[in-house]
Amino acid sequence: KNEVEQSPQNLTAQEGEFITINCSYSVGISALHWLQQHPGGGIVSLFMLSSGKKKHGRLIATINIQEKHSSLHITASHPRDSAVYICAARDSGSRLTFGEGTQLTVNP
Amino acid sequence: GAGVSQTPSNKVTEKGKYVELRCDPISGHTALYWYRQSLGQGPEFLIYFQGTGAADDSGLPNDRFFAVRPEGSVSTLKIQRTERGDSAVYLCASSPIGTGELFFGEGSRLTVL
């Protein structure tokens, strides 16, 4: 069992839909990262959070430490949001354990 | 440049050859990470530097892999006697002290024939 699990693995949505990607982890963490990876490999850090909720534009990330669960939400999705979204759990020593990623496709 | 720079962007080599991959982090970032990403999978941790020293090298798969960061800036990942299973994208990320925020390079795609 992977220490960090994401669901769904693949997600197809229509433009404008509200999207949720889930991440569960079994390890103790100091922080959880949400990353975006576009075709070609470049990774961009979206959020780093250790509690509560963060918002940036149409993106919202939440974390529940007790339940060891985090969600990434995208409001008013757009085709340019199409990418792989990866959650990664950071331990106390700064080591990251990554989920397998969620491939999101937003159709116009 | 302003971002994390990795060279080469693509490297094709033959089984058994030696390969070096370079990472030039954002200036002033003390933490530097190497990850490996195989096709269709999430990245996996290889090694983490804090300054010049390897704070955690437990992700290096075997003794064919070695990484250095002699002056606390540029890092080189070295792979000896490459095998076809080493084919992957090797990602580097750096982080400023105290924040934990990650800045990734574009990766070096290694293909071992």
Q: Output phi, psi for B29, to 5 deg.
A: -75, 125
Contact A59, A81 (CB under 8 A): no
A79 cis-preceded (ω within 30 degrees of 0): no
Does pLDDT of A1 surpass 70? no
Does pLDDT of A64 surpass 90? yes
Nearest chain A residue to B93 by CA: give it.
A43
Give the other-Cβ count within 10 Å of B98's Cβ: 8
Set of chain A residues whose Cβ sits within 8 Å of the Cβ of B48: 93-95
Higher pLDDT, residue B65 or B40: B65
Cβ–Cβ below 8 Å for B48 and A45: no
Residues B8 and A20: their CA atoms lie apart, in Å, by 36
Cβ–Cβ below 8 Å for A95 and B35: no
Render pLDDT for B85-111 as a digit per residue (tens, 0 to 9).
Answer: 999 999 999 998 878 889 999 999 999
Q: What's residue A27's pLDDT?
A: 77
Residues A100 and A6: their CA atoms lie apart, in Å, by 7
**What token pair was written down for B23?**
């990472």
Q: Which residues pair with A91 in a beta bridge?
A: none
Give the other-Cβ count within 10 Å of A10's Cβ: 10
Nearest chain A residue to B32 by CA: give it.
A94
CA distance B75 to chain A (A): 17
Render pLDDT for A2-57 as a digit per residue (tens, 0 to 9).
Answer: 689 999 999 999 999 999 999 999 878 889 999 999 887 689 999 999 999 999 99
